[in-house]
Every structure is written in C-alpha cells, then in structure tokens.
Structure 1
C-alpha cells in the first residue's frame, strides 16, 4: 500500500523525531528568564510540532506535558522561587492543559490538506493560553509572547489584540511551516497559505512602524522615581530582620519593634530628602518602590502625616509604596500604594491585588484599580506582580489613564526580564508606565513601548530615575474590547475542531468496503 505524497514528509519525520524534540527542548529553555532568545520563541513550537505529528497521539501528548512541566520547574529555578507541592501540581496541570493544542493538532490535521488546517494549532494555543492565564496564580508570567520583547513594530499588535495576537502569529508560523514540509514544498499547493501569512505579517510590521512613526507626545511631565538607598537599606535590614521573623511567630519584643521603627525612619528620612531634591529640580510626580517603607500599624498616622506635609510643601503628587504591619502578627501585612496630592490629601489607597504565591505574606486587595484626574493627565496604579495580569490593567486602559505608577520590588534572579515583560502593558492599554523597582530594573515607558529612562538597582547608586513622561495616553482597540480576540480564537477553534471531527466521521462512514479477496 503506497503512502500519499502529501503525507510522505510526516512519515519521514519519524526517523528524526527525537532530534526535533531535542531542538525543541533547547529552544524552550531559551524562552525563560535571562536566557531568552527571541528566535527560540518561534522555533520551539515549530520543532515540537515536528515531533508530535510523527508520534502516537498519546505518546506525543505525554512527552509534551512532561517537557512543559520541566520547563515550568526550570522557570522557578531561574526565578529563585521556592518549590512546593502545590506549585508543582499547578505547573503539571497547566502543562497538560498547554499540551492539548499539540494533541488536537495531531488528531485532527492528519487528513486535512487545506491551508485552513494550519489555523487549528494557533487558535488552540491562544485559546488554551488565555484560559489558563485566567485561572493561573502566576497570571501571564512565562508567556511565549514575552520572548519578543524589544521588537517594537511587532509589539504594536498588542494595542489591538493583547499578547494573544503575538502568540497567534508565532504559533501560526509553526503549523504553517510543518504544513509546507508535509506538502513536499509544492508551490501550487502551498501558495495560498504562504501568501496569506506573509501578507498578514507584512501588514503587522508596516502598521507597527507607522504607529511608532506617528505616535509623538509633545506634552510631558517630569517624573522622578526613587528606590531605597542600597547602603541604607542594608543598615535598616540588620535591625528589621529579627523583628519580622518574630512578628511572624507572634513574639516580637519591644526592643525588636524599636529596631524596626528605627530602620523605617532611616529610610523614610532619606526618601523624603531625595523627594524634596527632585521637587526642587522640577519633578511634579514622585514615585517610591513597593514596600519602600515598613510601618507598624501604631505608627501609621504619624508617618503618613509627614508624607502629606512633604507633598503639600513641595506641591507634587507623591505615590509611595508602603507595607503596614500589625504590631502583633506579620501575615496581616497590607501592601499599599498611597498617592498624596499637592494639597497633602490622599487621592488613592490601593492594596496589592495579586500577592506572589508562596512569597508575599500580605492581604490581597479588592482589585479595583484607581484612576485620578490631575493637571498632568489621568494617573493610575497597581503594585508589582499585579502587572502580570493583563485583565486587571484593562481597568486603567478603559478609564483612559495617561500614566500608570507601579511601585515594585523584584529580586536579582528576575532582573531585568520581569520588568521587560511588564512593558507590554503600556502598549496594550495606551498609557505611559513608570515602574520603580527595588532590587530590579526601573523603567519609564511611553504608550508605544519606547523606553524613556531606565535604572537598574544593582548597577546604580543612588537608585534614582528621572523621565519626561507624556501627559496623554493613546486610545487602543485592546483597551476598548479587551480580550475579544482571545475569545474569538476560542470560538473558532471549537468550530474548526468540531468541523474536522464531523468531516472525519463522514469519511469513515462513507468509505466503501473492500471487495472480497482484496487487501
């Protein structure tokens, strides 16, 4: 029995399947942490499809799920996030979910020679990635789309589709490339699919270049972003570590609480002095990092009073990151962003909506993102890990925020790739992003994703950044319609999958029985 020419490449691939898997594994490693290579983000799904399409469906699914699980664990290692049984289980379940598009591609595209079959995998990948992100405690962290950081023309697509559009065009390349090989590179067969993909890709890049060219913002405001002084932080931490440890065990002594107060006062005095200096230099907005100050609940009013006075005297908007500790028990800590206006009044008091699982001992806030009108545009805020949840930031985009102030606190193992990924939010929602990051990369980004200023905490002293930030945002389709493209992918994927199943069943039921004596 002869093999149809259009499947010859698929069967021939069985001889090199494990080589393709090895290349896919290497490429997948280069999509995480500070090992990120943009090209690897395109190669990994292409090579993994070469493997799964040549294997038994169940084997391909299991290998893919295990590979993605190992990749997720590797991300934890790169990020220095402690392992725990719940974390490993979440990663395994998420990996099985992400392996589904590879399984359904293997099951449903075998007998489908049209270029339309190339849409099944990218639609499925986008649908599954989006649905996983809604339930995943890590949000969009580790998304394949983040490998394309720095490709600004391509990333302008974020303003229409969010990261789902980037994922779609990358994974469509994977399925299209496999389809071309399986059609034996026959141009008459592949012409329509290739030309369609290349036309769409060209439109994305031309549109991206045009958006960058015509997105100037003449009106700006001087924004200063201040990290805690590394030498002072080290001094303050000496007296605070034991107090925090004992607060966690409900046994902090008065002497330890006094040491904590002393360290907080040391950092507060330094930040206030630097804030005054920046105000004298013309800053109208000043941002401090997440948990830049640790406050005992009993001292809250005294400290906040000093901050209100400073904002009033310097006539500026002062957004501070502060962690407020119950004097008796650490897990009751509140992680807040508090904005003081030039009149010394509090304009917002936002609590971190998404504490980092396993790392943040804080009370989660209600997730209502504030937006305040000012002479320098509409200001908004979230805190650090909140930025990994695009759906949360849509509140700021829909309220037409011009500048998002994001007090943050990373650690060296996720510097700078975590901040790099966060910059996607500015393009999606059309606001400028000012992210002040203790122990990481601080940036000011305009609505097109261009870097206005940046400072790395580990390579700069003092840890200060100044930028002229646009006072108007840019209206984006994504801010208006949200994840409509992702939901469309979900619906079309289901429709194509159902159509492929129905077509396959019809072929099986209408297949003529062989004549007696024939094979």
Structure 2
C-alpha cells in the first residue's frame, strides 16, 4: 500500500510539475528556460506507468499548461473551438510521450530521444500547412528572449527550435530511465555536441553581425484612444491622420526618414482617394520622410486591407494588400502580390500584421532581396509581446530588419538577428512613439534559400523511426 501511495505521489508530482512548467514556459509571456524543462517530468514517469496512464498524464499536463491562453484565445475564437484546439494539441503531446515510452521500454534510448521531437515537429509542420492561423501557437516562439537558440531558425526555420527543445527533454528523460547504461553515455555526449553546436552557431551569428550596413531612422506611432483606433468614414479617417500628423511634428527634428502607422486606421473609397492621397502626401512632405499607413481601401467591387506608402516629396509610392486575413473579423479580399521599393539604403518590403504568422511570404520577400520590412499591425492587448515576437522571428529566418507599428500592442523595431532595437507598449499614452536607427541589411539565409528542408528531413526521420520496430530482429 505504501509503495502504491508513493508511486501515485510521484505521478501526481510529475503531472503537476509539467503542467506548471508548460503554463509558465509557453503562452503570451513565457519564461523561456522553463520550456526546456516542461516535458521532462512526464517523459520521465511515462515508462513507470501503463500506456493509458502515460497518455493521460501527458495530455492532462499539456492541457492544464495550455490554459495560460484560455481567456485570450476566446476573444478571437469560439469557446468550443478553443477547447478543441487545446485538447487536440494535448493529445498530440500525449502521443509523443507514448512513442518515447515505447522505445524506452525496449531499451532503444537513441530512438526514444529522437522520436519525441521528430513527432512533435512533424505535427507542428502539418498544422502550419493546413491552419488558417499559420504558425500561431508554435512552441518555438517561447524562445524569443533567448537569441542564441533563435539563430538556428536562419538555417532550419522555426522547426529547428522546437526540435532542440524536445530533443533536450527527451534525452534527459531517457538517460534517467532504467534503460541500458551502455547507451546513456554516448547518447548524452552526442546530444550535448549537437546542442553546443546550435548554441555556438547562435552566439557566433550574433557576434558576426555586419557593422557597416546602410541605416535609416524609423519612427513608429500608434494610439489606442477610441477616436484613433478605427474610423468609420473617410472624413473620420482624415481626422485620425491629422492627429497623427500633429504627433509627427514632434519627431521631425530627430531626423526620422520613415514613419510607420498602424493598420485599419480608416476607410478610403474611390471618391475619397484623391483627397486622401493628397493629404497623406502633404503629411509626408511636411515631415520630410516616407510615411507608411494602414487603411481599408474599398471600391464598388471589393475591399482590401491595404498599406500605402508616401515619399518625402509628397508623392504616392506604392501599395500592398494584406494576404492573410483574420478569419471572421476581416472580410476583405486577400492580396496576392508583394511590394518591393528600391531605395539608396536598400530594398524595402511591405506586409501587414497577420501576414507575419506565415514564414513563406517573408521568405519570398527575402528572395526579393529586401533589407527592411514595414509592417502596420493591430493586436489584442494581451498578445502584444507574443504576436510582435512572431514577426521578429520572420526577420531572423529570412534575413531582414522589421519596423512593426501595432496599436493595442507593442511598437517594435528589430534587426535581422532578432535584436530589439526599440520597443514601447501602446497602452499607457494617448500616442505612443518609438524612434530607432535600423540597418537595412539583407542576409540570404539558408532557410530563405531552401525553405522547410528541415521539416521534411524531420518527417523522413519520423517515418524511419516508426518503421524500425517492424524490421528489427529482436
């Protein structure tokens, strides 16, 4: 009886510990180091209980940890769908733990250490392909405050970060299992070498940042005041931009070359466009800088979530229509074209908010050779850090700087290594502003050239690992 109670206490402790680590190590404000530890307790206990118990413990731990985003996610999705996504992801984690357990019980520690990360990354990749929300929810975003590991995304994309997280946890759990000791030392050494190489590459890449790149001074401005968040008519839109123009005057003396304002700042129709372009052109001319703004451009046939760019001489330069719209909340027509502007400092690109959840579009911009991306955005208060850092990772993957102006979020200027050059929360001032000098640097990364090669390699690895038990002689 005492042994059963002791065993139950260990199981309960492992479940609670993993749940707490997932809760604190993922979500909207993750503590990155805890994510590395989160899977470890349930992986450790999985070989000491039945398969059904191992699955339940793992799924329960992940589901409880996933409650850290419950209230936020329900602001953009129906409750039933939030619950379905949470439970489905928990089951995926449960299956990963079962696969790990099956290999540990057979004494196949190398397979155990590899199959959990391989399965998890394969599931993340499939979800990213089919989901209308792209890579949102990927566990790799928990690491955005740990830049050395983030640099591997320039080689493998986001998938390499997830793989390393689960490789570490699965290896530690395998080494702590009752499996054969002869395999534990070489496994530990091999995985340690892999992780040291990954961290070493990250440290080297950060240290090797070019110092002589062309630079521009950007200013981000956003207002969360009700009258400025969104306008319903062209006249109201002009009033909103008039207030933005007043704020721009205070920044002109700092030598700002590009202003970026948020998305969905007001409607522009065929009738109002000439007046709007003249007004925004005058704003840009008076500021002596480029001005990028997000508007709702509507015609008799369609409406677009559009970014428009005006030059310092007052002329309209280019427009870009958002490709990836937020389901149920944005009913505009999706855009299909990229917009690249050639400047003396280098090439600039244009995207809008949710576009940054999808690596492919940013990778295409990298192939265009851009060094700076101008991004109007609109967040949901709670997700300001997370959604902003998701965008930052696109710059690391595909090698460019980003100026992202988000209302109800955080203004963020970052370089191609993911360094935050300047940021400010928009919630505590009528108008929030950020000014930073940003390098216009194009880095042709391995990921931008070869895309999701690591995800496909991971899928191949998973297939091999799943097939080994059927061809093994013992």
Is TM more than 0.5 here? yes
Matches within 5 A, 1:90-489: 90-183=85-178, 186=181, 188-230=182-224, 233-235=225-227, 260-275=233-248, 278-279=251-252, 281-296=254-269, 298-311=271-284, 316-324=289-297, 333-342=303-312, 344-358=314-328, 360-460=329-429, 462-489=431-458
Residue ranges of structure 1 left out of the alignment (5+ in a row): 1-11, 245-259, 508-519
Distance 2:120 2:111 in 1: 16
Tell me which moved more, 292-301 or 407-416: 292-301
Other-structure match for 1:498? 467
Distance 2:212 2:429 in 1: 29
Distance 1:72 1:347 in 2: 44
Give a deviation string over 1:379-432, Cα, whole Å, max 9, x none: 112111221222222111222210011111113222323223332222111101
Residue ranges of structure 2 left out of the alignment (5+ in a row): 1-5
What TM-score do the two structures reach when normalised by structure 2? Answer: 0.88
| Partners of 2:55 and 2:95 within 8 A in 1 | yes
Distance 2:20 2:94 in 1: 17
Q: 1:489 to 1:264 in 2, by over 3 A?
A: same
Counterpart check, 1:30 vs 2:27: no
Aligned length: 468
Other-structure match for 1:248? none
Give a deviation string over 1:322-357, Cα, whole Å, max 9, x none: 123679x9xx75311122345655443222222223
How far the C-alpha of 1:300 sits from its partner, in A, is 2.9
Root-mean-square deviation over aligned CA pairs: 2.9
SS at match of 1:128: helix
Distance 2:52 2:360 in 1: 34
| Partners of 2:107 and 2:180 within 8 A in 1 | no
How far the C-alpha of 1:271 sits from its partner, in A, is 2.0
| Partners of 2:118 and 2:458 within 8 A in 1 | yes
How far the C-alpha of 1:438 sits from its partner, in A, is 1.0
Give a deviation string over 1:456-480, Cα, whole Å, max 9, x none: 1124554121111112222211111
Other-structure match for 2:3? none
Distance 2:97 2:119 in 1: 9
Give a deviation string over 1:419-457, Cα, whole Å, max 9, x none: 233322221111011111111111111111112111211
Q: 1:339 to 1:13 in 2, by over 3 A?
A: farther
| Partners of 2:264 and 2:295 within 8 A in 1 | yes
How far the C-alpha of 1:370 sits from its partner, in A, is 2.5
